[in-house]
Amino acid sequence: MYKRIEVFYKDELPDPLGNAVRSEIAAFGFPGVTSVRVRQVYIIFGNVGENDLDTIAKKLLVDTITQHYQISDFELRILDFGHHVVEISRKPGVMDPVEQSVLKALRDIGISIDGVKTAKKYLIDGNMSKEAIGSIATRILANTKIEEVFIYPETPNYDHGTIRYSFKKETVPLLHADNKQLEEISARGQLSLNLSEMRAIQNYYKLIKRDPTDVELETIAQTWSEHCVHKTFKGIIEFNGEKIDNLLQNTIMKATKELKKPWCVSVFKDNAGIVRYDDQYNICFKVETHNHPSAIEPYGGANTGVGGVIRDIMGTGLGGKPILNTDVFCFGIPDTPQDKIPKGVWHPKRIFKGVVAGVRDYGNRMGIPTANGAIFFDDRYIGNPLVFCGTVGLIPKNKCQKEARPGDLIVVAGGRTGRDGIHGATFSSAELHEQSEQISGGAVQIGNAITEKALLDVLLQARDRGLYNCITDCGAGGLSSAVGEMGQDLGALVNLERVPLKYEGLSYTEIWISEAQERMVLAVPPEKEKDLLELFKSENVEATIIGRFTQDKVLRLFYNAHLVGEIEMDFLHKGIPRLERKATWHRPTFEEPSLPDKEDFGADLKKILSSWNICSKEWVIRQYDHEVQGSSVLKPLQGLCNDGPGDACVITPRLGSGKGIIVSNGMNPRYGDIDPYHMASSAIDEALRQIIAVGGSLEQVALLDNFCWGNTNKPDRLGSLVMAAQACYDIAIAYGTPFISGKDSLNNEFITDKETIVIPPTLLISAVAIMEDVRNAVSMDIKEPGSLVYIIGLTRPELGGSHYYYIHGYKGNNVPKVDAVLGRRIMNALSLAASKKLIRSCHDCSEGGLAVAAAEMAFSGGYGMALNLSAVATEGSICRNDTLLFSESNTRFVVEVRPEHQVQFEGIVKDIPYGLLGKVIREPVFTIYGLDNKPVVNESIYDLKEAWQAPLRW
């Protein structure tokens, strides 16, 4: 039994959401809509009288200045007459954060109800067909995977009843299954286990002479998923006749081991890598991917991606405080025509908007600045977007180690457990296809940031009071992974019926593997139990004892005194058979364009500035609170009008200390099509040169790797992965920058009825550097007319994979390479110059090369430039202007220096390649003279800026 309260804006006031929806609908191709008004509907469950409903509305739900309300029964629907009416609400069981807040608020005003849920009711005016309204409802307003849609006169019904669960211990008949049956069991259960793994499990159960229970098999599947154990990276790979036993240890981790940096505190073992910061604190950093959930529900996928990586930091050591978020996305092309969108896929623009909103709503609510990021577009991400979420944390030096002890209580804290997110770990380890959205809808979740924020607040206090011995996050695999990991060397006993649930009806297996958000698992010594529970209660955060750690190295699961699972930890964690795979790679040959070396490249420059990858991302950045915590020193948007594209961000996590960190990222999948080795090298170089560009140094830089690849069961995809990993080793060693953490997400392919769309091999390199004095930071906007403009570094004819070729429809072959020996000298020289405050502005040359870097500096600073290409330092002789303008050779910088510092600056760079290109001029004109001294670019900086800003001015 329920009642409805509808809240809506007074007619004379604008309805901002309604207006936004109207523009969305028009942009989607339904121009006939004249007006949209939105009503917020609260569905109040329980026996609540009219008076109480009035009180609820007046005291809580309505802003009397702007809104009216109606307590509506369905007779009132006559009022909707004349509009098209669509009502949308989340399906039962899907997180609705408003619910908890409203229940809390009603307790504050002394009214008790059974429950509440919300819906949005859209009153749409305009001459539209019924079909059009249907399309608008399901393709623009709702995501039917998680939401119910009612198009009036269909009557919404929110009496869903409750699902009861009656206990029955389930076993899976495995002992006598043949290979085909084993594969069927894996497929039917969405376990993502291959045949050799299923057979290993079968052999284990043959030894102990019984069939597994369902929860045991699920536990093994979660623990052995690609997502959790990285079996490809740790397997045996035969590449070009050579056997690589554990790619991870032979490349990325090997670099760290050989570099032996004393400031690496914890690498590749905890939830995040930890490096030294100052005398009291360390810095931890983790970047995760949340690709498949974001493909199916962009908002929820990104939302929980952010929430998840924040929990990684909360679960690093004894808990870090999150101080910065970085988010990098790869999407399909935003203006792809609707008829080119494969079935079962959202339009890339909708994915883009949904993902940004998801990151925004979680990061902003958590009070963590999102101050770094990047967005990359390629049509091959259309069915499988990539969402990388990273968090940096600050952690006291004496809180970096943790260990659960026998007898410690297992406490689950934070959010409650529901049926959401079942099979996330195994789902993320498989390919997406047209029906993924139906089969794996349960893997999609919505986060509740405030639950996580309250949990964070109380956890940091518990940490400082020493109330627990160990902590980890509940991420992929839920309690199964968290408890399984923490108790790996001990053993654990869990009473599943004690886990607090959002609603009834969950089986013991669902409780164990649910990936419901905002939960952490703690190991609490019995003598601290009381203090811990009191502390959590004092801030309304739920914490519940669900079991204890033992010492017999067995995991035992009970449900109301029934033993439902019993597995040896050794088998669970060490029983997985090694993968053996073959890898190959053959260099593809792309057509080499023969473009005319024109007299005027102004139009090309503007076209490159307008390309999706290079254009301004201000629309995204401004929606993120990038200044909360007050720590920002170099913000993502810089210059005269605070709108230029900064290279890396600089923050001071300890206010007033003067010391800071620099965070950057590098990625260029376009190079990977030509050569994955050089792509990976270039990504590292890019991340490092952004650090140098803002005034940092290579002194203490830690790297993170995130590999997103296609299906690595296929030898060519695996071959390119091997090459990229080998580049990571080579370049990290050459630059002296160790990796401290990483992650891989494989099987990023989308299968349609016609074809398989494989994402380009995508390696994101994230970097964090320590900056001793943030007042040495350098921004990218030019500052003063009369300054000298230099290019530092060597330009080579490297247009393969460049944006210049891209806008002309080519890939080419001559991909940029990295000379890290020279690169290191260049970077060290610039760091020295920055520390002596000789650099007025600096920008790294990346996509679009010298021309784009210099143009961005000019229009961000509000002045013109007069530059000459004959001054560019080149390898060999380059006789084409377009190569000099747009080559994307690595380790190059454009630098502004005051005339009075010329001698001093040139003294520092004299042994590395550099060229004095020209000057900053007061007139707002950007001119580049070609090799024959005639202008090849001559444009107003305002026109260049407009070209750069227009595409994403949404």
- Report, in Å, the least distance between residue 678 CB and other proteins: 33
Q: Exactly one of 262, 656, 809, 876 binds other proteins (CB under 8 A); which one?
A: 656
Does 54 belong to an annotated binding site?
Answer: no
Q: What is the DSSP letter of 77?
A: G
**Distance of closest approach, residue 742 Cβ to other proteins, in angstroms:** 29
Cα–Cα distance, 426 to 229 (Å, whole number):
11
Contacts of 177 (CB under 8 A, 6+ apart): 185, 202
226 labelled binding-site residue? no
Stretch 619-638 residues interacting with other proteins (CB under 8 A):
621-630, 632-635, 637-638
Of residues 326 and 629, the one with the C-beta less far from other proteins: 629
Q: Among residue numbers 670 through 709, which ones bind other proteins (CB under 8 A)?
A: none
**Residue 496 near residue 506, CB atoms below 8 Å:** no
- Please report the DSSP string for 372-417 in residue order: EEEEEE-GGGSSS-EEEEEEEEEEEGGGS-----TTPEEEEEESPB
Our answer to whether residue 678 is catalytic in this structure is no
* Helix or strand holding residue 557 (H, E): strand 554-559
Structure-block tokens of residue 566? 């019993």
Q: List Cβ neighbours of 131 (8 Å cut-off, separation of 6 or more).
A: none
Q: Can you tell me which of 449, 521, 688, 815 binds other proteins, judged by CB under 8 A?
A: 449
User: Is 221 buried (19+), middle (13-18) or exposed (0-12) by CB count in 10 A?
Assistant: buried
376 within 8 A of 329, measured Cβ to Cβ: yes
Residue 312 counted as an annotated binding residue: yes
For residue 411, the minimal CB distance to other proteins (Å) is 20
Number of residues that bind other proteins (CB under 8 A): 66
- Residues 571-630 within binding reach of other proteins (CB under 8 A): 621-630
The amino acid at 482? A
User: Residue 56 and residue 589: Cα distance in Å, rounded?
Assistant: 69
Angle subtended at Cα 82 by Cα 81 and Cα 86, rounded to the nearest 5 degrees: 75
* Per-residue H/E/C for 867-910: EEHHHCCECCCCCCHHHHHHCCCCCCEEEEECHHHHHHHHHHHC
Instruction: Using the minimum distance from each CB to other proteins, give the nearer residue, 745 or 779.
Output: 779
DSSP string, 36-62: EEEEEEEEEESS--HHHHHHHIIIII-
- Is 594 annotated to bind a ligand? Reply is no
Map residues 306-345 to x or -, x wherever contact with other proteins holds by CB under 8 A: ----------------------------------------
- Give the binding range for other proteins (CB under 8 A) out of 283-291, 365-373, 565-573, 814-822: 365-373
Binding mask 380-409 for other proteins (x = CB under 8 A): ------------------------------
Residue 64 or 551 having the CB closest to other proteins:
64
**Longest C-alpha distance within the chain, in Å?**
87
Of the candidates 68, 199, 553, 783, which one interacts with other proteins according to CB under 8 A?
783
Tell me how far, at minimum, the Cβ of 853 lies from other proteins, in Å. Answer: 17
End-to-end CA distance of the chain: 43
Catalytic residue among 84, 230, 290, 803: 290
Question: Near other proteins by CB under 8 A, which window of 54-62, 375-383, 411-419, 563-571?
Answer: 54-62
535: CB partners within 8 A, 6+ apart: 458, 461, 462, 465, 467
Residue with the two structure tokens 């935003």: 334
Which one from 84, 227, 678, 901 is the annotated catalytic residue? 227
Which helix (H) or strand (E) is 520 found in, with range? strand 519-524
Residue 476 vs 941, nearer CB to other proteins: 941
Q: Minimum Å distance from CB 576 to other proteins?
A: 41
CB distance 521 to 436 below 8 Å: no
108 annotated as belonging to a binding site for a ligand: no
35 binds other proteins (CB under 8 A): no
Q: Dihedral through CA 775, CA 777, CA 782, CA 785, nearest 10?
A: 40
From residue 861 to residue 890, the character string flagging contacts with other proteins as x (rule: CB under 8 A) and all else as - is x-----------------------------
Reference 477, options 505, 508, 452, 513; nearest CA is 513
Contacts of other proteins in 5-34 (CB under 8 A): 14, 16-17, 19-20
Judged by CB under 8 A, the stretch of 579-587, 649-657, 666-674, 884-892 that binds other proteins is 649-657
Could you count the other beta carbons within 10 Å of the beta carbon of residue 50?
A: 9
Residues 66-125 interacting with other proteins (rule: CB under 8 A): 66, 97-98, 101-102, 104-105, 108-109
The residue (of 20 and 79) whose beta carbon lies closer to other proteins is 20
The annotation status of 445 as a binding-site residue, yes or no, is: yes
Closest CA to 541 of 452, 461, 474, 470: 452
Q: Which SS3 state, helix, strand or coil, does residue 913 take?
A: coil
666 known member of a binding site: no
Using the 8-state DSSP alphabet, how is residue 757 labeled? E
- Contacts with other proteins, 524-563, as mask; x by CB under 8 A: --------------xxx-----------------------
Among 642, 786, 904, 942, binds other proteins (CB under 8 A): 642
Question: Is 562 in the active site?
Answer: no
Measured from the CB of residue 72, what is the shortest distance to other proteins in angstroms? Answer: 18
Binding site for other proteins (CB under 8 A): 14, 16-17, 19-20, 59-61, 63-66, 97-98, 101-102, 104-105, 108-109, 360, 364-367, 448-451, 453-454, 457, 538-540, 621-630, 632-635, 637-640, 642, 652, 655-656, 774-775, 777-779, 781, 783, 841, 861
Q: Binding site for substrate: residue ranges?
A: 311, 445, 745
Catalytic sites, residue numbers: 227, 290
- Binding-site annotation, residues: 286, 288, 311-312, 445, 473, 705, 742, 745
